[in-house]
Amino acid sequence: MVAKIVIGRSIRGILHYNENKVNAGDAKLILASGFAGEIERMDFKQKLARFENLNLLRPSVKTNALHITLNFDASEKLDHLKVQQIAMAYMEKICFDEQPYLVYRHQDAAHQHIHIATTSITREGKPIDLNYIGQDKSEPARKAIEKEFNLVVAESKTYKMKPGIKPADAEKALYGHLPTKRALSNVISAVISQYQFTSLAEYNAVLKQFNVMADRGAEDTVMFQKKGLIYFLLDKDGQKVGVPIKASAFYSKPTLHKLEKKFAQNIEKRKQHKEPLKAAIEKVFRQYDSITKATFIRELQKQNINVVFRSNEKGYTYGATFIDNQRKTVFNGSDLGKYYSAKGLMERLGTTDKAIKLEHRQQPRTYLKPTEQTNYLPIALAKYQPQAAPSVTRKKKKRKGQEQDQGLTL
């Protein structure tokens, strides 16, 4: 199980997000704790009022809304009762069991997950301390619940590291089984909230994994000049299908202007994931004396990393983009360094595959800096690192006169 807590200022926004999913048929309210009366008969305003009445008791605390998601392994099949029990146990362990909260079960992803909406202001008007809540309360709660409910452990090798977003089904949308707008919106909202990208090209690299594409149109069009943006569904061959929808038509307003702000914010956020991604790439190269592009792509996919090579009509590869679905980050190869650019990778890739036998893997071939090697190379490889030569104390030769002098004093 993976738990994520987002702390914000708007409980209204959290409720809007989840209630819209319910109205669209992509989620269901499965639990309401701390609400008087029948929750099924409550409308949006009544649910919102329950939280806002508490927040008004301490208006000086602006950051008081919590949006919690609990994500389960793709292999787990949990019924509503089990999920309700897990939600209640989790809220008790993070000391929010006395707070009103709503639990929504979503069906818009490839794995089972729930969203929990609550507030940090108590009935006495006191704010619950949210500092280090993830580290000090959520993490211990997650680990305890994994044992208590026999869930797949998030750190285990059996945990499936899959993108948690369900690809849009173009065929269902085109034939009326699933509205196009809804299919697009599910993917767009999830990608924007979960992934860190710094350009439209990187954003599209993620979207295309889920059969969606954002398009500005040709450079000589009015839409391009005014920074307009439209979204398309893609078929299984990556071709645009159906009627495009303007960014401004979606509830989340994923316009280019809004995305550009996200690009700027993500430049700093994704830095921490740069070196782990480079280490993952080097791990693949260390396993082969010679490796083809196809095998390189396949080996990275085993680590839940997709690499997209861009080529022109003549077959020249001019770009490479890495999508790390484990850490939810996107990098152009050139941003990682010259050895990871399209040119650098093509020079390192071969025409045949020749794996290195385990017993022959000695000095690793790597383009990481010495400090990076220390952080990411296996400890077992340390014995292959060059060692400093042992110091030797040399005896000084005594001159003949000195030896005679010493002999006279004995």
pLDDT in tens, 365-380: 555 555 444 343 333 3
Are 349 and 309 in contact by the 8 Å Cβ rule? The answer is: no
Establish if 392 belongs to a structural domain. Answer: no
Give me the sheet containing 212-215, strands edge to edge. Answer: 212-215, 230-234, 240-246
Establish if 245 belongs to a structural domain. Answer: yes
Q: Are residues 280 and 221 in the same domain?
A: no
Over the stretch 301-335, which tens digit does the pLDDT of each residue have?
Answer: 999 999 999 998 888 999 999 999 988 999 999 99
d(C-alpha 63, C-alpha 214), whole Å: 33
Q: Are residues 34 and 138 in the same domain?
A: yes
Which residue range(s) make up the domain with 371?
A: 271-384
Asked whether the predicted pLDDT for residue 387 surpasses 80, the reply is no
Establish if 341 belongs to a structural domain. Answer: yes
Residue 71 neighbours by CB under 8 Å, 6+ apart: 1, 2, 3, 4, 111, 112, 113, 164
Strand 288-290, strand 305-311: pairing: unpaired
Residue 317 neighbours by CB under 8 Å, 6+ apart: 309, 310, 311, 342, 346
Q: Are residues 11 and 140 in the same domain?
A: yes
The overall average pLDDT reported for the chain is: 84
Q: Are residues 238 and 358 in the same domain?
A: no
d(C-alpha 214, C-alpha 231), whole Å: 5
Q: Are residues 244 and 357 in the same domain?
A: no
Q: Are residues 124 and 206 in the same domain?
A: no
Q: Are residues 46 and 109 in the same domain?
A: yes
Strand ranges (E), 2-119: 2-8, 27-33, 65-71, 101-106, 113-119
Report pLDDT for 189. Answer: 86
CATH number assigned to the domain comprising residue 90 = 3.30.930.30
Establish if 409 belongs to a structural domain. Answer: no
Q: Are residues 19 and 141 in the same domain?
A: yes
Report pLDDT for 393. Answer: 44
Q: What is the DSSP string of 89-154?
A: HHHHHTT-TTS-EEEEEE-SSSS-EEEEEEESB-TTSPBPP-TTHIIIIIHHHHHHHHHHTTPPPT
Q: Are residues 98 and 216 in the same domain?
A: no
Over the stretch 211-236, which tens digit does the pLDDT of each residue have?
Answer: 999 999 999 999 999 999 999 999 88
Q: Is 23 helix (H, G, I), strand (E, B) or coil?
A: helix
Asked whether the predicted pLDDT for residue 363 surpasses 60, the reply is no
pLDDT category at 237 given cuts 50, 70, 90 is: confident
Domain count, the chain: 3
Q: Are residues 182 and 299 in the same domain?
A: no
Phi, psi at 59, each rounded to 5°: -65, -20
Q: Which residues pair with 308 in a beta bridge?
A: 321
Show the tokens assigned to 174.
Answer: 């085109």
Establish if 56 belongs to a structural domain. Answer: yes
Report pLDDT for 337. Answer: 94
Residue range 128-133: mean pLDDT, rounded: 94
Establish if 393 belongs to a structural domain. Answer: no
